[in-house]
Each structure stands twice: as structure tokens, then as C-alpha cells.
Amino acid sequence: MIEKQIIDECRGGNLNKFRILVEQTSPIAFSVAFRMLCDEDQAKDVVQETMISIWQKLNKIRSAERYKSWMYRIVINKCYDQLRRRKKNPEYKADDKTWELISDRISEQPSSDLENEETAVIISQLTNRLSPKQKAVFVLTELEELSVDEVSEITGMSKTAIKSNLWYARRRISEMVEKYL
């Protein structure tokens, strides 16, 4: 939980406190951005932009408790922008060899966590055919383990829309898993 005092002092223009806020919250923002974009550099750019937006709009936040969901919302919107820009460039499609590597890595029952690069490849392949909204719902609900209410607040979608998007995303990913892994 982000301390209310830190947010209040940041609102007053205290840059040192904002430095602490960035330190505490940028890993959370990076996690979502990375899982959404599957690209480390782009995710870092999104985190930077998010932090700057937070500084500029910190007075708009109603309560410190809402800070996290507010930050998630900014990250998701910035990711949408990135994905929209990316549409112009055709997505890289993994060949069978890449799928084999992914399959091997998963079936190994990894004792250690996956590297960023490996995570990026897996998520990118599994969510390749999902729309940005479906991807956002999948990342926030399944990977970030947020509740439907929280996801609804972040994305602005209704609970029904979230459930249907999640159902569709699960089905698509299950098909991919079944087919390639």
C-alpha cells in the first residue's frame, strides 16, 4: 500500500518524495506494461511516461487508496496507444522451432522463474490473436491477479464485458496451448 503521506507530499511538489513513489511503484507498472507489450524497452518507455503523467495529474487523484488502480489505468491506456501504433507493423509470428523451445521450457517444470525474454516470447505467442482489450483483461485478471471489480475500475469496462473478454481470451489461449505445447 502506498502511504498517503507520500502522495500528499508529492502533491505539494516534493520531488524527493516523488522519487520514493517512483521507486516503489515503477516495478508494478513495468510488470503490467511488459506483459501487455512483451517488449522490455517499450515497457520501460511506458513506465516513464506513466510516472510523468502521474506527477502532472497527481492533484486529480481523489484518495491515496485509489492510487494503484489509477496508475494501472494510465499504464493500460499507454499500452493501448503502443499496441495501436504497432498494428502498422506486422506482428512477428513464431515458427514451429520457437514453439518447441517454449514447450520444452514449460515442460521442464522450471524451478527458477522465467527470464524476461522467455516470458515475453510465451505471452506474445499466446496472446497474439487477442484484441488489446482481451489482452488487458487476461493480463490484469490472470497474471496480475486483480479482481473483476478492480479490472472494471481500471479499464472502464462493465463486469459482464470483462467476463466475456476473459472467457474469449482463455478459450483462445487454451486452443494455442493445446495446439503447440
Partner 1 sequence: MNPETEKYSKVVNILKKSKPVLNSTTDIEREVIKRISGSYRTDRGISGAIEFFFGWVYIGWVRRTLITASVLLVLVFIYQQNIILKQIKYLSSQATVATEDKLINTSDRIEKKMMLYKLGGRSLSSEEVTISSGQLEQLLESVNELQVQYKDLLKLIGEDPELKKLVEKKMEENSHKKTKL
Q: Which residues bind partner 1 (CB under 8 A)?
A: 13, 15, 18-19, 22-23, 26-27, 30-31, 34-35, 40, 43-44, 47-48, 51-52, 55, 106, 110, 113-114, 116, 118-119, 122-123, 126, 142-143, 145, 170, 173-174, 177-178, 181
The answer to whether the CB of 62 falls within 8 A of the CB of 15 is no
| 38 CB neighbour count, 10 Å cutoff | 22
Q: Which is nearer to partner 1, 60 or 88 (CB)?
A: 60
Minimal distance in Å, beta carbon 13 to partner 1? 7
Q: Which is nearer to partner 1, 16 or 89 (CB)?
A: 16
Residue count of the chain, please give it: 181
Grid coordinates of 177: 496451448
Q: Which is nearer to partner 1, 48 or 88 (CB)?
A: 48
Q: Which is nearer to partner 1, 114 or 148 (CB)?
A: 114
- Residue 21 is which amino acid? L
Q: Which is nearer to partner 1, 8 or 117 (CB)?
A: 117
Minimal distance in Å, beta carbon 90 to partner 1? 25
Minimal distance in Å, beta carbon 166 to partner 1? 12
